Amino acid sequence: MFRFPVSLGGSRDEARHDQITPLDEHRVVVDEVDFFSEKRDRVSREDINDDEDEEANKVHVKMENSRIEESDRSRDVNIGLNLLTANTGSDESTVDDGLSMDMEDKRAKIENAQLQEELKKMKIENQRLRDMLSQATNNFNSLQMQLVAVMRQQEQRNSSQEHFLATEGKAEGRKRQELHTMVPRQFMDLGPSSGATEHEAEVSSEERTMIHSGSPPSLLESSNLRENGKRLLGREESPEESESNAWGNPNKVPKHNSSSSNNNNNANGNVIDQSAAEATMRKARVSVRARSEAPMISDGCQWRKYGQKMAKGNPCPRAYYRCTMAGACPVRKQVQRCAEDRSILITTYEGNHNHPLPPAAMAMASTTTAAASMLLSGSMSSQDGLMNPTNLLARAILPCSSSMATISASAPFPTITLDLTNSPNGNNPNMTTNNPLMQFVQRPGFNPAVLPQVVGQALYYNQQQSKFSGLQLPAQPLQIPATSSVSESVSAASAAIASDPNFAAALAAAITSIMNGSSHQNNNTNNNNNVATSNGDNRQ
């Protein structure tokens, strides 16, 4: 996919390169050309015939050059001119061989002047961005130092508490001790895709060593421990079990936390708040409501059904699935049809995958992670802060699509519901007229199964931009292989989202892009029947 235009440009450049190989400087030019052609290819993918974009892109190249070697500005500019002649001059040479050198020189000079002017502008902009970056870096560093200080204080408290517990009784002490180690781990679980993958955030690794105070097992190890503990201990139920299973026994956490808070941390209200917030984090759920006749929406993961229950107030049973892509993946999901409208499928996700994921699953993972992080960032400040206006993501989503993304603080655990169903009954007319996302949802051919990818990307990039939370999101969406057209669509969607401050508008653009991108290839999303066909593991 990528290579086609690159090779096009590359072939031309190589042909020219063969003619001018004696000059060393032109080797630099060739390198730049390779990079340039690839970049330009990306731009041309978005708008092939847009000359302005091409020009802007050329300016970008020169801007980067100027960053690297400001003294060689003139040469960099010449590079751009060479590129111009490389692309267009070849055609001219075949048509107008008799062009005078003066004309070419004049044109080159004009272009040169224009480009230098643009270069100046870009340098100014570059400087401004650098200032902003340095400012953000400073803020980040100061926040990190504060975090480190808080962690140290907490660690000291824990160590002093351990001494106290040693005298009180070992069993009870172990429980409390694990409570203190458990919460941060879950805290991290909601971070970069459980951190066991290679996309672990650099910051979190340092923090984790501090949090676990000692030689903490990797999350993968801990996951294995969980699984082993589960199988070995069975129902004997150790604290490890309650720690490990973020999904199960949801009521344990509040109880433990409340008791531990009351028993141990009364001296410090901050710790109470923190444990409550962290407990909240553990139970953060992302619920996706989508209209689908299929038993499950296709999210790219392999799931194994481990239970089914009749939920109160709903004639439709609730199915419980766990991720089977890795042996100890903690991610689980519930699937249930809406009682009022059985065509609506409610899928609730919890946890983060601790293994590499296929692109489609990455999208969903980023959805749940970003949405959960959105929840958590709001709940960090206070329990009532789920809708805290300081939550940038919430602010980004809710003002324009309050009926689409709702956050429930009244639930036993915070749940963000992404309502991807349009309302044919017109319960809320404003929803469809004012909400760009809903407009796209209503479009014929729209498939809710694609939406998690869109929302995930949108949430992810929105949060990447805002960086409002201390949680580090997984970099998964960035590593989606470029060979998939879905990933292309996602990339385009990402770019659209990243470039648009208005989340809903960006989301709409993203959906457009994905719909366009997937309409020709993504037959597996046709009315969600792909669940049984394209993804053979999603049985039911």
- Nearer to DNA by Cβ, of 200 and 350: the residue is 350
Query: Which helix (DSSP H) or strand (DSSP E) does residue 26 occupy?
Result: helix 24-46
DSSP 265: -
CB of 319 to DNA, least distance (A): 7
Q: Which of residues 61-120 bind DNA (CB under 7 A)?
A: none
- Nearer to DNA by Cβ, of 330 and 448: the residue is 330
- Nearer to DNA by Cβ, of 94 and 410: the residue is 410
d(CA 494, CA 458): 7
| Longest Cα–Cα distance in the chain | 98
CB of 254 to DNA, least distance (A): 5
CB of 511 to DNA, least distance (A): 30
Q: Which residues contact 220 (CB under 8 A, 6 or more apart)?
A: 194, 196, 328, 354
d(CA 200, CA 195): 5
- Nearer to DNA by Cβ, of 324 and 388: the residue is 324
CB of 374 to DNA, least distance (A): 20
Q: Which of residues 222-281 bind DNA (CB under 7 A)?
A: 230-231, 234-235, 237, 242, 245, 247-252, 254-255
- Of 99, 113, 149, 311, the one binding DNA (CB under 7 A) is 311
Under rule CB under 7 A, residue 539 binds DNA: yes
CB of 302 to DNA, least distance (A): 7
- Nearer to DNA by Cβ, of 75 and 255: the residue is 255
- The answer to whether the CB of 34 falls within 8 A of the CB of 13 is yes
Query: Which helix (DSSP H) or strand (DSSP E) does residue 77 occupy?
Result: helix 73-84
Per-residue tokens: 513: 């892009």
- Nearer to DNA by Cβ, of 254 and 356: the residue is 254
Nearest partner of 179 among 329, 269, 279, 268, judged by Cα: 279
- The answer to whether the CB of 536 falls within 8 A of the CB of 511 is no
d(CA 251, CA 168): 26
- Nearer to DNA by Cβ, of 238 and 502: the residue is 238
CB of 189 to DNA, least distance (A): 14
d(CA 71, CA 79): 14
CB of 238 to DNA, least distance (A): 10
- Of 22, 214, 313, 429, the one binding DNA (CB under 7 A) is 313
Total H helices, total E strands in the chain: 20, 7
x/- map, 377-416, DNA, by CB under 7 A:
----------------------------------------
What values do phi and psi take at 321, rounded to 5?
-125, 150
- Nearer to DNA by Cβ, of 231 and 520: the residue is 231
Pairing of strands 332-337, 405-408: unpaired
- Of 224, 324, 439, 479, the one binding DNA (CB under 7 A) is 324
Under rule CB under 7 A, residue 520 binds DNA: no
- Of 120, 121, 170, 309, the one binding DNA (CB under 7 A) is 309
CB of 268 to DNA, least distance (A): 22
In this structure, the number of other CB atoms found within 10 A of the CB of residue 82 comes to 19
Pairing of strands 415-419, 285-291: parallel
> CA geometry: angle at 455 spanning 370 and 208, to 5°?
15
Q: % helix / strand / coil in the chain, to the nearest 5?
A: 65, 10, 30
CB of 469 to DNA, least distance (A): 25
- Of 223, 287, 334, 469, the one binding DNA (CB under 7 A) is 334
- Count, residues near DNA per rule CB under 7 A: 36
- Nearer to DNA by Cβ, of 323 and 458: the residue is 323
- Of 306, 501, 516, 527, the one binding DNA (CB under 7 A) is 306
- The answer to whether the CB of 350 falls within 8 A of the CB of 367 is no
Pairing of strands 285-291, 344-350: antiparallel
Taking CB under 7 A as the binding criterion, the range among 84-92, 123-131, 308-316, 484-492 that sits at the site for DNA is: 308-316
Position 368, amino acid: T
Q: Which residues contact 402 (CB under 8 A, 6 or more apart)?
A: none
- Nearer to DNA by Cβ, of 219 and 346: the residue is 346
CB of 410 to DNA, least distance (A): 11
> CA geometry: angle at 151 spanning 148 and 157, to 5°?
145
CB of 312 to DNA, least distance (A): 4
- Of 289, 332, 337, 355, the one binding DNA (CB under 7 A) is 332
CB of 250 to DNA, least distance (A): 5
**DSSP alpha helix (H) spans, 190-337:** 202-212, 219-233, 239-244, 252-264, 269-282
x/- map, 163-202, DNA, by CB under 7 A:
----------------------------------------
Nearest partner of 300 among 453, 106, 167, 152, judged by Cα: 453
- Nearer to DNA by Cβ, of 26 and 332: the residue is 332
- Nearer to DNA by Cβ, of 336 and 518: the residue is 336
d(CA 258, CA 103): 81
CB of 293 to DNA, least distance (A): 16
Chain positions contacting DNA, by CB under 7 A: 230-231, 234-235, 237, 242, 245, 247-252, 254-255, 302-309, 311-313, 318-320, 324, 332, 334, 537-540
